[in-house]
A and B are shown apart, each in its own frame.
Chain A
Amino acid sequence: MTKQSEWLDLCSIGDLVENSGVCALLKEQQIALFYLPAEQKVYAVGQYDPFGNANVISRGIIGSKEGKLFVASPLYKQHFLLEDGCCLEDETVSLPVWKTQIINERVMIQTV
């Protein structure tokens, strides 16, 4: 039997910073949210930097490499893809990712 996934209301679009990141708390889980207004899309990845061992990912710069969006860790500059959390420097490492949608100016996140 599979677990029922559910959509939770995390915060409002107004809490986000365009083309940059903020952090939200989902129970005890820290989640980095990146808002790209051009695509009307919010990406959600883990806030914990597995290389720097600190909760800082939302404070990294977002960019693209060959068309794929990433966030660069503000500590040691490793790149993590926003789509799947994969680290470009070390394929054995990745950040957790969540699905999101924007409904009525609210950011909804899917939990498993």
Chain B
Amino acid sequence: MNKQNLVVVGNGMVGHQFLQSLADSGQLDQFNVTVFCEEPRLAYDRVYLSSYFSGATAEDLAMGQIDVYQSWGLNVLIGEAVTSIDRDAQHVHTNKGTTLFYDKLVLATGSYPFVPPVPGHTREHCLVYRTIEDLEAIKASATGAKVGVVVGGGLLGLEAAKAIKDLGLETHVVEFAPRLMAVQLDEGGGNLLRKKIEDLGVKVHTGKNTQQIVDGKDAYHRMEFADGEVLETDLILFSAGIRPRDNLARDCGLEVGERGGIVVDNNCQTSDQKIYSIGECALWSGRIYGLVAPGYAMAKVVVEQLSGGDKQFLGADMSTKLKLMGIDVASIGDAHGHTKGALSYTYNDQVNQIYKKIVVSETGNELLGAILVGEANDYGTLLQYALNGIQLPKNPETLIVPNFGGDDAETGLGISALPDTAHICSCHDVTKGAIFCSIEAGAQTVCEVKAATKAASGCGGCNQLLTDLVNHELEQRGVTVSHDICEHFAFTREDLYNIIRIEEIKTFDGLLSKHGHGHGCEICKPLVGSLLASCWNEYILDKPHVGLQDTNDTFMANMQKDGTYSVVPRVPGGEITPDQLIAIGQVGKKYNLYTKVTGGQRIDLFGARLEELPEIWKELIDAGMETGHAYGKSLRTVKSCVGSTWCRYGVDDSTGLAIELENRYKGLRAPHKIKFGVSGCTRECAEAQSKDIGIIATEKGWNLYLCGNGGMKPRHADLFATDLDKDTLVKYIDRFLMFYIKTGKRLQRTSVWMENLEGGLEYLRKVVIDDHLGMNETLESQMDHVVATYECEWKRTIEDEDALKRFRTFVNSEKTDNNIVFIQERGQIRPATEEEKAVAEPIKMIM
């Protein structure tokens, strides 16, 4: 059979989804596929574009990958644009002179940002926000700029405002309509969103009609509005809507809409049967869909059509849920109540800044639409009511009024009420039935269901619903979904923390006898040991605590694969004197230890036998060093650059601050290890934004970043507060750390904790800065207690005869473990392999 020539013009998100669906359908072998990608890179995620300024790279955003495309056998032409279509000859022509025959042509050319034609809109530093190249231009323009304005207060405009804000500019949003997000929100929702955005320091100007842009006095531009007011700014970003890129279709005589858009029918076919159009360039039933989910649906329709299927596009739900600058906003269906006879219920909580509205049918039976601002946990449930026409409860207002009683289960949507055909994830078109199939096929957790179905991996809006659904179904099937930490305590970590605090419990046995049962285990013992240390900070090798500690904490060193330990002295801020270096070197030499510089600016000494640890530490302590807690779920290091003391670019003394902070928080036990970084300027040589707590010097003080991670799952820290003086900085860190210690789950790093924190960064700001929970004084005094009771555990231990007995390899012999064997490699020792042990001459056996 002859293969058909399939030409795809455009490789945006929808163009990519089309290729992915085609590959998934197994039809690739029936086509010679050629893809034209005009941009210099393949498809990337435009929905999360603003994350480019909060740390994501082009690679992070990438969706299409050249090696994957090639493995599918696609002919991919990057940076090549189709310039015309000859429908009679069935040819496309490109800007590089290529002419190509097509049997079938798919136009996925997307849209371009609409720039209102006000005089001055073509001036320098007037930009748009759509591509990575646009972002780079914005970044370049922002250098040296102080003020940035976004024209357009819709969904994209607010995303763009976040980008401007992330660049550190004073940010303004100028909107023509009387409120923000006028399409999705009503007045109440728009007002609250405005207040919340203004609280974040973004200035909002609504009802503003820009007349012209001229030279500014204090800034590069001056915007003049119809009402006579003016606004000076260095940078202007237009985000006032999109327009379909339909010029190719227009030029070759395809039918286009009056106001643009390539007209398509339910098959996504244009007026030429050989040509399809999908995504934001396509006009279906008189409307353009500017969201990604309908574009994906169109892509799937075309894949079906190509294989002779009869799937059709019959419109799409425009409901949406998103986080704008950390604020939850959602809009469902007929949010404005345009349906005849529609009635609405509104809940407006000015104290906690939450606005919710539902629109119901005349009969009160059906949910037509909804608006949620400030908290959108109910989005999934409400969307299901709306999409599936599920009968509303007798008092529909119970859906949005907080359930303080806690026992009224009727208000939540019984997940069992959803039909199997209910769409849980609209991005990837996953139904409740498909989710149950994946559980049937063996998925046992939410993660496994996600992996099997792709549900919740698009916009993520259905995450909560998916979690509820999966957990509910697993429970139905008798799988226990328990939040207890282990069989000995029917509590969460936070429950135990509160019990220990409130009842002032000082020992594991005390807690176990009152609130637990059995003997404990390797889960709950170290957990309780850590909680007791966080709260009371007693010596961890005290008799009641010693059996709770993991081997690393017990011997205050890190066990390696052969049962020997590594030793890390504290090097605060990475600052170390030559004498200390020599002392470490001498210890390494004397005990024949393998030495390596760590990522945290310290020196790790490997291969110490249990019985050598006290002698090693005695020598290190004599040289003025103390324990580095490399073994603990506790503060590790505060990494720093050299700062203004030496560096030509340094703005402040980062090393000095790092030392101060490391000395303040050393010894603090937490749910997991904690790392800090302090950089002396925005060049960020200390990589502070990849730490749990990152601090960067500014001209006016210190910027504080929280909850970053560089390890298994890298996460850029969130900018929490700017230009702080040192006292405020330390206060915020005190409160943040104690709040994390109180609420974190077992072995949960701050990055994951933040991802799961309801209300996110904004909520954390409320707690730490605004004292929303009224507990800041308590948090600070708890931290003061830990700081005041710090002692070097190793110093205490080498002075404690009883504790030292524990470091004997054998309680009844002076011999050493003859299973520990080292081999020389690159001038140092390393553990011998099992094979080497059988033959090698032992280097370090003292019998």
Residues on A lying within 8 angstroms of B by beta carbon are: 10-11, 15-20, 22-25, 30, 33, 48, 52-56, 59-67, 69-70, 72, 74-75, 77
Contacts and interface: CB of A to CB of B under 8 A. Distances in A.
B747 to A, nearest CB: 13
Contacts of A20: 546-547, 554
Most buried by B among A19, A64, A66, A69: A19
A18 B811 CA distance: 14
A61 B810 contact: no
A72 B559 CA distance: 14
B812 A18 contact: no
Interface string B806-817: 101111110101
A15 B812 contact: yes
A17 B806 contact: yes
Nearest to B525: A61
B518 A74 contact: no
Contacts of A18: 543, 546-547
Place the interface of chain B in its size category. 35 or more
Given A54-B562, A77-B522, 19 more contacts: A11-B811, A17-B547, A18-B546, A18-B547, A20-B554, A23-B809, A24-B812, A25-B810, A54-B561, A54-B820, A55-B817, A56-B551, A56-B563, A59-B555, A61-B522, A61-B526, A63-B519, A63-B523, A75-B559
Contacts of B561: 52, 54, 75
Interface string B556-569: 00010111000000
B526 A53 contact: no
A59 B551 contact: yes
Contact of B563 (A15, A54, A70, A77): A54
Contacts of A55: 563, 817, 819
B813 A53 contact: no
B437 interface: no
A22 to B, nearest CB: 5
Q: What is the predominant secondary structure among interface residues of chain A facing chain B?
A: strand
Contact of B520 (A10, A23, A30, A64): A64
Given A15-B805, A23-B809, A74-B559, A65 B546 contact: no
Contacts of B547: 17-20, 61-62
B487 A65 contact: yes
Given A65-B521, A72-B521, A60 B813 contact: no
B304 interface: no
B551 A30 contact: no
Contacts of B817: 30, 55
Contacts of A10: 812
B322 to A, nearest CB: 41
27 contacts: A11-B811, A11-B812, A15-B811, A15-B812, A17-B547, A18-B543, A20-B547, A22-B806, A23-B811, A24-B811, A25-B810, A25-B812, A53-B834, A54-B819, A55-B563, A56-B551, A59-B555, A61-B549, A63-B521, A63-B523, A63-B524, A64-B488, A64-B518, A64-B519, A65-B487, A67-B518, A74-B551
